[in-house]
Amino acid sequence: MSSFAKSKLKAARDAIGKKNYEQAREAATQVLDYEPDNYTAHVFLGLALLELGQHEKSEQLYRKAIELKDDQVLAWQGIAKLYEQTHRWNDLADTLEHIMQIFANNDDAMKCAETLQKFMDVRREHGSRREVIQALFLYLPDSSLYPVLSSLPPPDATNPTSTSIFPTQSAMHNSLVVYEELISLTEREEEMFIKSEFDKRRTRLGGPKPEQLKKDIGLEVWRSSKLPALYNDILNHPSTSDELRRATESKLIRYKQQLFFALPSTDPEKCQVGTQVDDMVHGIVTIGIPDEFAWCVWLEGRDCDTIEGLGLAYLKQFIELFPTSPLALMLKGYFAYSRAAHGDEELTEEQTLTVDGDPYDIILDAFSTLPDLLLANMITARVHLQELEYTDAIKVAESGLELVRRYESNTARELREVRKAFHVILATSFVHLFPPKHHPRALYFLNDVLKQDPTNVDGLMGKGYIFQHAEKWQEAEMLFAQAAKQLPDDMDKGLQAKEESAWCLSRVQVDAGAVALKEVFETLEDVEDRDIDKARCLWRIGRCYWDLRGESREEAFKYFITSLKHNREYAPAYTSLGVYYSEHASPPDPTRASKCFQKAFELDAREAEAARRLAEGFADEREWDLVEVVARRTIDGEGGMGAGMEGDGAASGKYLPTNAWAWKALGVVELTRRNYPESIKAFQVALRADVDDQLSWLRLGEAYSKAGRHVAALRALGRAHELQPDDWMCTYFIGEVQRQAGRLTEALASFQSILDIRPTEAGVLLSIAQTHIDLARHERFIGFVARAEQSFVSCIDVMLVAIQESSGYRGVAWKIAADALFELSAFTVFADESNVRTAVTVVRELVQDQSSARLAGLFKFTALSPNDPITGLNALEAAVAAYDYRITVGSPDEAALPSSLYDLAVALHGWILKQPPDTIQQASEAANSFLVQALQKEPGNARFWIALGDLHFVHKPKLSQHAYIKALEADNKNVVAWTKIGLLYLYHNDMELATQAFMKAQTLDPDDTLAWIGQALIATANGHEAEARTLLEHAVNMTADVPVADLQFAWRALVAVNGSNTARAPTTDRLLPAFFVLGRYFQRCPADACGLHVFGLICEHLGKLEQGVEYINRAISLLEAAYEEKEDPIVERQFIIAHTNLARLRLGLGDYEGSLASFENALGLLPEDAERETQILRVQAQYGSGMASFKMGDLQATMTAFQAALESAADDLVLRGQVTVLLAQTMWAIRTPEFRESAKGLLLDCITSDPENLMAINTLAGMGILTEDDGLVDAALSEILLLPIEQRHELDPRRDVTYLLVQHYLGLGDSVRATKIAQKALHVEPSNLQLRHEVASLLLRRGDRDAAWAILGSVAPNQNIVEEKTTLALSALAQPVQSQRSAQKAIMLDPGQLRNWQTLAYVRAQEAP
């Protein structure tokens, strides 16, 4: 190094010492300029820049210095200072590690320890848990720093501040603290990693189950974990205390076990780890170390089928080591319970551990904290089984089996004996839980047990019980005998097996079985506290003697009595005594027998024979409540719907009932109480026991029908009919269900099949009549009026037969007959008048002399002579009398009286509406009185209130409103009430309230037709005709039978077409719906003159002139009859209008004479007044007469009539202008030059007097076009063409002027001029679709398809179907592609249009190759 560099470095060091960092920077820079690789200059400059705040340059200089001499610590220390100031903690930690390594390489233990302490401080304060763990490993022997650090002197605990490295000295001379901290941090790190990974992976699609996912993640961690080595280091550390060693050993076992469980069974390491766990656990148990976890692992791994097989010494030692643990408490409770249950005085001292409280409760309390412990499940299941708590035993045993499966899956080791033990518990529980319902499941487990252990006593006896219940006595006897051989001297199970073997033998060989049972009883006599077994054995001996019949039954009686002496609560003995008293005693003693049955059933609900006999006795005495009690208790005794397994969601469908009669009885009771779902369930369960029980199928069908499930009802009843085809009640139920389901024709056939064999069955007659009336209403609704009429008459005929055959149903019969007559009264014309006359006449004859005081003086029957046609009024009078007579023949306090009064009031109100207003006062009061009486009896009936509101709708609106509101209070969702009150408000001009009411009705029922009609009437009242038409259109598309809506819709459609100003508007599409709607209307109201008149006018628009003439002729006939009856001037005016329209239609048909006659009839009836309507009619009739005369060739009469029309028009410019134009057109049609010139003159005079008469202008222009007289065309159109656009469009709304000009120039062959005129009109009115079509058509004539397509392509895509029809054909000709598709679509929309077919043919010809 040169002297210059040395001097500058000295100057830099001095400047740094004086904190003159700028001078130091300059000096160091000068050195580097002279010597670029000077290490010290780099360090000095880096320090100066650091202090000056230039951190980036400082770091670069330090890094350069480190590159120059990386084993020198000065630059490392400088950059460490930089990182510390800039809070770059990770870089600082890395730098400190390099510094420690340099000091270690230089054997500088003190500096290395100081740096390590600083490194640990940085990691603890700013590092993660994993980084702290890595730092702590530097203290351990495997660290590269350990050789240097181990040379540090021992720490002076008495003076820890004597050195700056006391923590490092302490860690190096006692590493146990470091190991403990490492273990704590590592455990926490692994736990958090597993948790975070589980949370991330658990939501992945197609991932493993949560339990397996935890194992997979754990396996990733545990296989590479350092915890086992750290645990071993603590175990081997000389400073480890016994307590820490045990705790660490326990942790190691847990760690090894979770690794053992997580390893797959195919991994070779699994067996090795399992062996390690077993060795550690076995060592702990052998030595008796108090590690509860290890003991539990050892106990879990023992494959024993009994608790005692685990070793009583070990269990006692466990209790001593862990006296307060839940398992120890459970074991103590189990030992105490076993001693109490078995009474074994030879139990060892270890078993006689005392407990405070009931051992059973202690076991259950402990089990609540040990649900996942195999041993706890085994103990609890056994105790439940001994307590005969079979359901709980099953639940715990199934849980135990799940734990066994989990253990075997985790360890790849089998627990065959433990599994067998749980199977025995399950099988025994299933055998005795409401036998024999669970025997199939029990047999599965028993077969598995006996396959593993053919001599298992519990398995043999369980299978024997199953065969016993199945009455397979020989197989059962063999199994019980085999079980008895296994325990020849056992006084518990062994003796029980002998008894069961003897009992099964007695079912095959009575004598031998009785002897064997007596031997068993002799053994039992010497045993104390076995009274129940003695009673059972004696009863069985008695049953053997009972089966021997004859005098042996007296001996059986003695044994039954002796049985009860041993145990007075043995129920089967009471049942046998009851059978004895009822069947064998002489004389029979039913009272004593009943008491015996009651006692037996009281003691044990499973005594089915006693229960059945009791139920039969109660049924004979009509004690239905007691029958239900017996049935329900019997069902409970057999386990109910779930057979004791309520937790099984599908249990109700798994088990066959033992006592089907109880389920049938319960079904009948629930059916009587209208609890149909429960009744259906009961009958379904009963049918599972006997699928061929016809009565159960019948009752099930009845329950289904009353629950509204008609399809299911028909299936059930059909099955009942198959089982017993001659059961007419089944056929009757089928007919009733078919009627309720709307299959009325089938229902009639079913009922008729019953009448063929029981012609006087009153109930069937009533059902047939009701079906007829339902069918009639349906037929009228769908438009078959004649059929409906016949069905109503058939109903009346059937009811008359029922009235004659039975007096018990007269009230109901008269009700149905009156309903049919009331429905017939709505007919205006009858298709089969004689048939209706006969029915009405018969009813009148029966009731006319039976009129009660209720109708006295109110009305009398209209005379019905053979020559007079039968009318709806005649049927209505008969209906009123029939309703009245129904009340007379019924009981005055019967429940149907309010309904009867209501029917009478409604019918009387209908009769009132057909009477003159001055004769109805008394009848109105009577109708009001009947409704009031009905409401007094049923004030909450909304129908009655609505009828009261209808009665006073017109004359007493406040009372009517009150009635409707009361109806809504009774039922605020009654759509009829909301609609009626809306109509009331509308009638009395309260539009706001009417709107609210109709809106509410529509909200409740969007298909309520009357509400839509009401809204349409409101729209009409507000002047919104378009909205009214839309609402009416919606109303007529509904299914309700409201003819007035059809008529209103058709009339408004006709008015809309007549008032349309659209040029050449397509009226067919607009009037066809009205045509079909009126067709439906006349099926219901064939005698409505107004409707016929409208129908005729619509037919005229549709070109059906003959049909129109027919309808208007019928209307004229009806109007003529009406006028003759009342001579109403309004009817007369309608008659004149009808004749005028008829004359016009005849003129169109060429019937000129008929047309002339009709016009003359109209003229002859018109009064001589100056009313506008009369003037219009006269002018029309006079001009029409002229036209008819012209067509007949009578020119003089023609001109006379035209002249009269002009005179009648007088000064009325509109009428005069129209007559003038029509006269000019007629004169033009004569075709002589004189008349044509006269026609032109008439039109010119008309235009002069009325310049805005567009009809005259257009007609004159048309004449000019026909004669090719341009001057005449210009003269005609010049004035209107000079008008402003708005005024011109107002005068010419149909754009006739443009049309005429276009046709004029087309006629001259000037298509260019015609196109320009059309384009100019379209430019003024671009939204006019008709003009757009005209321009496109003209362009296509000229061959300009592109321009035509541009015009048509700009049409809005959301055009309606009518506009679409007119556009598609032109589009097909104009568009360059898919033209055939457009032509086909045009045909689909309007297949009757010839032009569309021609278009398709043209397009196909153009596209053909």
Give the alpha-carbon dihedral of 247, 253, 256, 257, to 10 degrees: -130
* Arithmetic mean of pLDDT, 1215-1234: 80
Place 345 in a pLDDT band, splitting at 50, 70 and 90.
very low
CA 404 – CA 415 distance, rounded (Å): 7
Are 1008 and 1001 within 8 A, CB to CB? yes
In this structure, which amino acid lies at residue 1029? R
Predicted confidence at residue 352, as pLDDT, reads: 44
pLDDT at 347 over 50: no
Predicted confidence at residue 850, as pLDDT, reads: 72
Query: Token pair of 277, please?
Result: 């766990």
Closest CA to 834 of 861, 807, 869, 785: 869
Place 1291 in a pLDDT band, splitting at 50, 70 and 90.
low
Spacing of C-alpha 1103 from chain mean position: 52
Length of the chain: 1409
CA 294 – CA 285 distance, rounded (Å): 8
Closest CA to 425 of 376, 465, 459, 472: 459
DSSP category for residue 1128:
-
DSSP category for residue 349:
G
Q: Name the least confident of 279-293, 349-363, 1225-1239.
A: 349-363
- Label each residue of 1253-1319 as H, E or C: CHHHHHHHHHHHHHCCCHHHHHHHHHHHHCCCHHHHHHHCCCCHHHHHHHHHHHHCCCHHHHHHHHH
Specify the long-range contacts of residues 1187-1192, CB closer than 8 Å, at least 24 apart. Answer: 1187/1147, 1187/1222, 1187/1226, 1188/1143, 1188/1147, 1188/1152, 1188/1153, 1188/1155, 1188/1156, 1188/1159, 1189/1156, 1190/1226, 1190/1229, 1191/1147, 1191/1150, 1191/1152, 1192/1152, 1192/1153, 1192/1156
Place 424 in a pLDDT band, splitting at 50, 70 and 90.
very high
Per residue in 1310-1359, pLDDT (tens digit) is 777 778 877 777 777 777 777 777 777 777 777 777 777 777 766 655 45
Spacing of C-alpha 167 from chain mean position: 72
Q: Which helix (H) or strand (E) holds 1192?
A: helix 1172-1192
Place 1201 in a pLDDT band, splitting at 50, 70 and 90.
confident
Angle of the 1195-1209 helix axis to the 1213-1230 helix axis, nearest 10: 160
Contacts of 41 (CB under 8 A, 6+ apart): 5, 8, 9, 12, 28, 31, 32, 35
CA 462 – CA 300 distance, rounded (Å): 28
Query: Token pair of 537, please?
Result: 């054995």
Closest CA to 1353 of 1334, 1338, 1332, 1337: 1332
Contacts of 574 (CB under 8 A, 6+ apart): 564, 596, 597, 599, 600, 603, 607, 610
* Arithmetic mean of pLDDT, 285-309: 88
Are 1313 and 1343 within 8 A, CB to CB? no
Place 1063 in a pLDDT band, splitting at 50, 70 and 90.
very low
Closest CA to 375 of 443, 467, 304, 439: 304
CA 176 – CA 136 distance, rounded (Å): 12
DSSP category for residue 581:
I
Cα radius of gyration (the chain): 55
* Arithmetic mean of pLDDT, 611-626: 83
Percent of all residues in the chain with a pLDDT value above 90, rounded to a whole number: 20
Predicted confidence at residue 1064, as pLDDT, reads: 47
Half-sphere exposure of 1324 (CA within 13 A, CB side): 13
pLDDT at 1113 over 80: yes
* Sign of the CA dihedral with 1243 first, then 1248, 1254, and 1258 last: positive
pLDDT at 1072 over 90: no
DSSP category for residue 892:
T
pLDDT at 422 over 90: yes
pLDDT at 402 over 90: yes
Are 392 and 423 within 8 A, CB to CB? no
Are 268 and 276 within 8 A, CB to CB? no
Q: What is the mean pLDDT of the chain?
A: 84
DSSP category for residue 759:
T
Per residue in 518-533, pLDDT (tens digit) is 999 988 888 888 889 9
Contacts of 383 (CB under 8 A, 6+ apart): 334, 337, 360, 363
Are 816 and 766 within 8 A, CB to CB? yes
Are 795 and 773 within 8 A, CB to CB? yes
- Label each residue of 145-206 as H, E or C: CHHHHCCCCCCCCCCHHHCCCHHHHHHHHCCHHHHHHHHHHHHHHHHHHHHHHHHHHCCCCC
* Arithmetic mean of pLDDT, 536-550: 90
Predicted confidence at residue 1123, as pLDDT, reads: 81
Concatenated DSSP letters of 942-964? HHHHHHHHHHTTTT-HHHHHHHH
* Arithmetic mean of pLDDT, 439-468: 92
**Which residue's structure tokens are 């009477």?**
915
CA 790 – CA 633 distance, rounded (Å): 55
3-state DSSP assignment of residue 125: helix
DSSP category for residue 209:
P
Q: Which residue has the higher pLDDT, 54 or 1?
A: 54
Query: Token pair of 100, please?
Result: 């420690």
CA 703 – CA 698 distance, rounded (Å): 9
Per residue in 224-275, pLDDT (tens digit) is 888 898 888 888 888 888 888 888 898 888 898 888 888 888 888 889 888 8
Are 1013 and 1049 within 8 A, CB to CB? no
Are 441 and 397 within 8 A, CB to CB? no
pLDDT at 76 over 80: yes
Are 352 and 335 within 8 A, CB to CB? yes
Bond from prior residue into 1066 cis (ω within 30 degrees of 0): no
Per residue in 801-848, pLDDT (tens digit) is 888 877 667 788 888 999 999 999 888 788 888 898 899 888 888 887
